Amino acid sequence: MRVYTYFMVVISTAILLALGVMALLYASNLLSSTIVNYFAEEGKWIVGIVGAFFVLLALGEVYTGGRLLKQEPAVSFENPLGEVKISYSALEDYLKRMVTGEIRGVKKVRAKLGEGRGGLNVTITAEVEEEENIPRLTNGLQERVSSYLKDTLGITSLSQIRVHIVRLSPPRPEKFAKEEEE
């Protein structure tokens, strides 16, 4: 839907701008005589006003469309005192910190949220230590993210939680130091 909205803003802006510029050029006698002959001499001032109106509409479309495209998606819910919205970027940042801080074996994380048919889609992209049991780690990661979103934030409509392991890396140096001491 966002691509469609962006496309419509661009197309409508281009059409309004083109019509406005043509009307202004006509009103100022800068168009060729063949085009000018289509309009009556007495109607130039009306065409000029219409052209200026179209230019203003085009500028308003750019302003409004830009503002609509910049609105960040958010998860919202109602409290007794009013609506609460939590932006996707805030949730993504927290999930990143939570996963790297609480789940052993995860080194780097990126979280991405989106809307799905059944609710919220969560995609976790992670770099994990190569010695970890991947099925157990990913299952624990999915359960932890799910319980956080459901229990802490009250988000009950989760569509799916995807985990992408993009790199298996050597264990952290602290792990080597602890093993050598033992």
pLDDT band at 33 (very low <50, low <70, confident <90, very high): low
Asked if 173 and 94 sit in the same domain, the reply is yes
Whole-number pLDDT of residue 125: 93
Asked if 59 and 108 sit in the same domain, the reply is no
What integer is the mean pLDDT of 21-41?
A: 70
Asked if 101 and 177 sit in the same domain, the reply is yes
CA 126 to each of CA 36, 39, 53, 106, 131: distance values in angstroms, whole numbers, following the listed order? 64, 65, 52, 7, 15
| pLDDT tens column, 4-15 | 467 667 777 887
- Please state whether beta strands 120-129 and 158-169 pair in parallel, antiparallel, or not at all (unpaired): parallel
pLDDT at 177 over 50: no
122 in any annotated domain: yes
Asked if 95 and 65 sit in the same domain, the reply is no
pLDDT at 50 over 80: no
Asked if 91 and 173 sit in the same domain, the reply is yes
Asked if 24 and 104 sit in the same domain, the reply is no
Task: Look over the chain and give the mean of its residue pLDDT values, rounded to a whole number.
Answer: 79
CA–CA gap between residue 161 and residue 127 (Å, rounded): 16
78 in any annotated domain: no
Whole-number pLDDT of residue 25: 81
CA–CA gap between residue 131 and residue 139 (Å, rounded): 16
pLDDT at 178 over 70: no
Asked if 94 and 160 sit in the same domain, the reply is yes
Asked if 175 and 91 sit in the same domain, the reply is yes
76 in any annotated domain: no
| pLDDT tens column, 68-80 | 556 677 777 777 8
| pLDDT tens column, 112-163 | 998 888 888 999 999 998 888 889 999 999 999 998 888 887 787 888 999 9
**70, 95, 115 — which closes off a domain?**
70
Whole-number pLDDT of residue 124: 94
Domain that holds residue 18: 2-70
Percent of the chain with pLDDT over 90: 14
Whole-number pLDDT of residue 43: 65
103 φ, ψ (degrees, to nearest 5): -110, 115
